[in-house]
Structure 1
Amino acid sequence: MSRLALPYRSPVTSCVRPEPWQLVLDGAVTDLPESLDFWDYRMDIELSRTVHVDLSTARAGAGLSDGSVLSLAAIWTASGSNLRGPVQRVPLSGDGVRTVNLGAVLPGARLGGVLSLETVLVLSRTAGPAAPFAPRRAGSLLWEDTATLRLQGDAPLFPMTVIDFTHTSFRDDAAWHLQLGSDLNGAAMGSMLLIVNEKAEEVSTAFAHAAKPGPVDRVVLSMVYSDCARIMMEHALSKEEFLDGADFAEDSLGATLVNLFHRLFTGRTIQDLRQLRQTSPSLFATELQAATRILKEA
């Protein structure tokens, strides 16, 4: 196992005693699971964690003076959106053991993929003389640990918004519209948007209940997922650069479409599916219907 070699003294890891991350769902608190199978972009993630820090031991181990200020912070990173942000940062001064409660509600629209939660103890400010090779710069890392949560689900994994179609160019009696960018090398998060008509109450309600869908919600979500998959595959197959063996950048629209293709049509080739769409559109539609397992989870 590799270990980060710091160019300055660092305390023993036992100076920080973290408790597990907690996930809050509908008021119930549980330990952070490996994945959330029912997650979608309309579901915010509420997290909390308690960490105990022995400040005296941490400073002594790093060769810092008693007056030095440390900070405990948590940062989140989402692989699906390539975004990151702070959970919370708490300055720590004084002596003895401090108990810190970290917590935040992370907006689902900014997440996706694997959510990484990094907790760190860093130097904020030195005070007085320090031992040789002690850290001196603010932000110097003294301790860290990382937890992950895979966000996945049956709902389409892309940003979405709910608006009144009356004020758009879409037909006001349509239920949803999937917007896709034309550049397959563009970032996926900036190239996809599911727009739901707020007047289509069954659809907006289904997404609001995505964490714990009822029977009707499951039917609606299954239909939306199947239709979005169809639109995405037709969009991909209409692009000349969408070919077998094409190399798109990670987290690009092209990479997302390639991953969706292989998930839906394991063992098939893009050329095979493109030819099927050209020669028999109705059979192509039926193949997509079967691949997305429409209504199978309802």
Structure 2
Amino acid sequence: MSAPISAGYLTPAEERIRSGTVTVTGPQGTPFPEGEPVPDWDYFTDLTASWPLHVDLPGVLQDCGLSPAAAVHCLVTWHSSSTNRRDNSSPARLVDGGNRLTVAIPGTEIGGILTLTARMVLAAPDPAPISPLAALRPGAILWQARRRFTLEGSGSRFPVVATSFAESGLAEGRRSLWYLSCAPDLDGSDTGSIRLYLNTDHPAITAMLSQPEAEASRTLAEVLRHDVVRQLIQTALRCEDLQDEHDQGEGTLGELFINLIRRYFPGRSLSDLRSQHRNDPSELEAVIQGLDRVLA
């Protein structure tokens, strides 16, 4: 076993800090605890993370060699595996007893695995430290812990790009709402094969991004989410190499297609769905609408 890495200054004993159940909550208000995947998530579902802490503050200060006048702040940071975006809550002064750390997480910036990290940091130099081994620099991390959440759903893996179609030339520079790009390479990376472009030239898109909680924005986001699902299912059914009995590699576009189709059509084979798609594609689209409960 390797020796623990020293921070170079005193840190508190673990028993001084007790974490409660860390949760992630969507707009509908249902909290999902650590260890459970967040189901039916998509890029237009903003999340709120909550991390309760019970802290023996006098004990923390004593263990760290800090005086009672020392300012220790707590905050929670988030990181997304698929977008590599990260941010944090505003630091709050740590108090003795109950503390609750919360952070708002924009859905358009996350996907894959969401990692939350709670931290206690020295906010300012202690005017009268009681130990020469006490942390001195502002921002020194006195304690931290991590929790991970898996974001599930049709929008959990591929990136979203907000861009001007007029400047980029997408959709011939027209005033389209969005464009879903999908390179149908079943063995390719799901993250790299699909990209959703949002046209910032369109006022409805800019309103949805800047005011996601507005009723019109929520309606448009739901229609967009459904359109992404519809297009992905159609693309999957056009891929003749995608077969029920084939084992798709983890993290591939093929795996994403299979998981999406099984979610919507758990009792039907790909050959059956392809037959319906060829013979009556409009009916299949209507079926997907009903299964997706669009605007219902």
Match of 1:288 in 2: 285
Q: How does 1:136-147 map to 2 (within 5 A)?
A: 144=145, 146=147
- Assess, with a 3 A threshold, how the Cα gap between structure 1 residues 213 and 239 changes in structure 2: closer, same or farther: same
CA RMSD of aligned residues (A): 5.4
Match of 1:163 in 2: 164
Give the conservation status (yes or no) of the 8 Å contact 1:37–1:151. yes
Q: How does 1:145-294 map to 2 (within 5 A)?
A: 146=147, 159-165=160-166, 168-171=169-172, 172-198=174-200, 200-202=202-204, 205=207, 210-214=212-216, 218=219, 220-221=220-221, 223-244=223-244, 245-250=246-251, 252-277=252-277, 281-293=278-290
Distance in 2, matches of 1:155 and 1:114, equals 9
Distance in 2, matches of 1:231 and 1:274, equals 14
1:112 Cα deviation after fit: 2.7
Runs (5+) with no aligned partner, structure 1 = 1-5, 131-138
Give the conservation status (yes or no) of the 8 Å contact 1:242–1:254. yes
1:119 Cα deviation after fit: 1.9
Give the conservation status (yes or no) of the 8 Å contact 1:88–1:103. yes
Q: Which amino acid aligns with 2:259?
A: N
Q: Secondary structure at the match of 1:190?
A: helix
Q: Which amino acid aligns with 1:176?
A: W
Q: Which amino acid aligns with 1:163?
A: S
Match of 1:133 in 2: none
Q: Among residues 32, 35, 46, which one is paired with 1:34 in the alignment?
A: 32
1:179 Cα deviation after fit: 0.8
Q: Among residues 44, 53, 56, which one is paired with 1:54 in the alignment?
A: 56
Q: Which amino acid aligns with 2:284?
A: E
Q: Which amino acid aligns with 1:76?
A: W
- Assess, with a 3 A threshold, how the Cα gap between structure 1 residues 242 and 217 changes in structure 2: closer, same or farther: same
Distance in 2, matches of 1:295 and 1:165, equals 33
- Assess, with a 3 A threshold, how the Cα gap between structure 1 residues 288 and 223 changes in structure 2: closer, same or farther: same
- Assess, with a 3 A threshold, how the Cα gap between structure 1 residues 282 and 274 changes in structure 2: closer, same or farther: closer
Distance in 2, matches of 1:268 and 1:239, equals 17
- Assess, with a 3 A threshold, how the Cα gap between structure 1 residues 106 and 228 changes in structure 2: closer, same or farther: closer
Give the conservation status (yes or no) of the 8 Å contact 2:26–2:45. no
Deviating more after overlay: 108-117 vs 255-264: 108-117
Distance in 1, matches of 2:218 and 2:120, equals 43
Counting matched residue pairs gives 271
Q: How does 1:97-112 map to 2 (within 5 A)?
A: 97=96, 105-112=104-111
Give the conservation status (yes or no) of the 8 Å contact 1:15–1:54. yes
Task: Provide the identity percentage.
Answer: 20
Distance in 2, matches of 1:116 and 1:47, equals 10
Q: Which amino acid aligns with 1:273?
A: L
Distance in 1, matches of 2:111 and 2:156, equals 12
Distance in 2, matches of 1:10 and 1:213, equals 47
1:290 Cα deviation after fit: 0.8
- Assess, with a 3 A threshold, how the Cα gap between structure 1 residues 233 and 40 changes in structure 2: closer, same or farther: closer
Match of 2:78 in 1: 76
Distance in 1, matches of 2:154 and 2:259, equals 15
- Assess, with a 3 A threshold, how the Cα gap between structure 1 residues 85 and 149 changes in structure 2: closer, same or farther: same
- Assess, with a 3 A threshold, how the Cα gap between structure 1 residues 290 and 150 changes in structure 2: closer, same or farther: same
Distance in 2, matches of 1:210 and 1:69, equals 36
1:178 Cα deviation after fit: 0.9
Q: Which is strand-richer, 1 or 2?
A: 1
Q: Which amino acid aligns with 2:215?
A: P
1:111 Cα deviation after fit: 0.9
1:258 Cα deviation after fit: 1.9
Q: Secondary structure at the match of 2:280?
A: helix
